[in-house]
């Protein structure tokens, strides 16, 4: 008799908890099932979710993040990091560029006193209203708590834990303020959106991006590290130098063809009808951007860039 009482109480508690979980939306998904992580070394993890890829580096006193995903995944991300990577707090957050699928944790982490570091162009775009034409969307300035408190121009070097992290600005490619990060000891390159692995890239011509710059960025990036370097792209799976060379070849080829159309003043409709990406579509056209959507960014980006320079 006595021994049955606790088990009955436990049963009722289970019932109550189960009932609560079924009526409170989201409670049953508190473990962020959409996020996954890959350990590249003992101290460097990649977290992948709906937004851009996130680098998480463990140091002696806490974490350094490179990018922070979407804002609506911020609390999921923080729980996920505690559970799967390191329970200590985030100390430093780098932004690779200003887009919302990469800077979504800025406001939450910045509000908690985390150092946010970015290239000065990224701070500029985050501080103002931007008409992002490629997505027909106006993006409001970020809350001041999420604006990077430290900026740099060309790049720099940071020692964090046992890693030496080199970061460099590659202007006018995906935006005007993209930065890549190279972990010298681990031989890992995190590219932000300078490199989309296995898919056509977004080119944000409203904030300084253009297809010639994207092609040039990969000329720079293929020379970083060596042939063993592991590459964390902005979007897509972890890749190799061969993956990067395939994207480099595609971007140079397509940029050359689009230049030809631009020099004779062809319309976007004419360009799309001519299918100038046809030989690359099987490899790159099955991702986020279909060929027409890619051309609708890449082709106008040339005229926009030429007007500026």
Residues that bind Zn ion (CB under 5 A): 99, 193
Nearer to Zn ion, 70 or 160 (CB): 70
Measured between its terminal Cα atoms, the distance across the chain in Å is 87
Angstrom CA distances, 48 to 42, 61, 244, stand at 18, 24, 19
Nearer to Zn ion, 191 or 229 (CB): 191
Report the nearest approach of Zn ion to the CB of residue 174 (Å): 6
| CA angle, residues 59, 61, 118, in degrees to nearest 5 | 65
Instruction: Pick the closer one to Zn ion by CB: 99 or 123.
Output: 99
Give least dist CB 57 to Zn ion, A. 21
At residue 101, the 3 state secondary structure works out as coil
* 3-class DSSP state of 135: helix
Return the number of the residue (140 or 269) whose C-beta is nearest Zn ion.
140
Q: At what angle do helices 211-221 and 291-308 cross, to 10 degrees?
A: 90
Instruction: Pick the closer one to Zn ion by CB: 214 or 222.
Output: 214
Which is closer to Zn ion, CB of 49 or CB of 276?
Answer: 49
Integer Cα distance of 126 and 120 in angstroms: 10
Q: What angle do helix axes 211-221 and 241-263 make, rounded to 10 degrees?
A: 150
Compute the least distance from the CB of residue 178 to Zn ion, in Å. 8
Report how far residue 300's alpha carbon sits from residue 306's, in angstroms, rounded to the nearest whole number: 10
Beta bridge partners of 63: 58, 90
3-state SS track over 1-51: CCCHHHHHHHHHHHHHHHHHHHHCCCHHHCCCCCCEEEECCCCEEEEECCC
For residues 77 and 277, what is the distance between their CA atoms, to the nearest angstrom? Answer: 37
User: In the bound complex, what is the minimum distance in angstroms from residue 192's beta carbon to Zn ion?
Assistant: 7
* Nearer residue to Zn ion within complex by CB, 163 or 178: 178
CB of 52: closest distance to Zn ion in angstroms? 7
Rounded least distance, CB 262 to Zn ion, Å: 23
144 φ, ψ (degrees, to nearest 5): -55, -30
Minimum distance, C-beta of residue 193 to Zn ion, in the bound complex (Å): 4
């Amino acid at each position: 008799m006595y021994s049955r009482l606790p088990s009955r109480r436990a049963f009722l508690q289970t019932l109550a908890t189960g009932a609560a979980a079924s009526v409170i939306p989201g409670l049953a998904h508190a473990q962020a099932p959409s996020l996954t992580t890959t350990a590249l070394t003992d101290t460097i993890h990649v977290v992948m979710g709906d937004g851009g890829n996130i680098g998480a580096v463990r140091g002696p006193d806490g974490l350094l993040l490179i990018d922070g995903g979407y804002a609506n995944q911020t609390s999921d991300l923080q729980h996920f990091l505690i559970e799967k990577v390191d329970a200590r707090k985030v100390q430093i957050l780098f932004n690779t560029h200003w887009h919302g699928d990469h800077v979504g944790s800025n406001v939450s982490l910045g509000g908690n006193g985390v150092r946010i570091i970015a290239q000065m162009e990224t701070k500029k775009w985050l501080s103002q209203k931007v008409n992002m034409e490629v997505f027909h969307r106006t993006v409001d300035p970020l809350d001041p708590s999420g604006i990077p408190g430290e900026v740099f121009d060309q790049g720099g070097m940071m020692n964090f834990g046992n890693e030496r992290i080199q970061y460099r600005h590659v202007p006018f490619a995906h935006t005007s303020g993209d930065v890549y990060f190279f972990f010298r000891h681990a031989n890992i390159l995190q590219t932000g959106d300078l490199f989309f692995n296995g898919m056509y890239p977004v080119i944000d011509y409203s904030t300084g991006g253009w297809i010639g710059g994207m092609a040039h960025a990969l000329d720079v990036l293929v020379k970083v590290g060596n042939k063993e370097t592991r590459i964390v792209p902005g979007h897509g799976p972890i890749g190799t130098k061969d993956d990067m060379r395939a994207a480099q070849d595609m971007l140079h080829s397509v940029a050359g063809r689009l230049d030809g159309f631009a020099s004779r003043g062809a319309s976007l409709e004419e360009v799309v009808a001519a299918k100038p990406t046809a030989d690359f579509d099987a490899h790159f056209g099955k991702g986020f951007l279909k060929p027409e959507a890619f051309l609708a960014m890449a082709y106008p980006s040339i005229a926009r860039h030429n007007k500026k320079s």
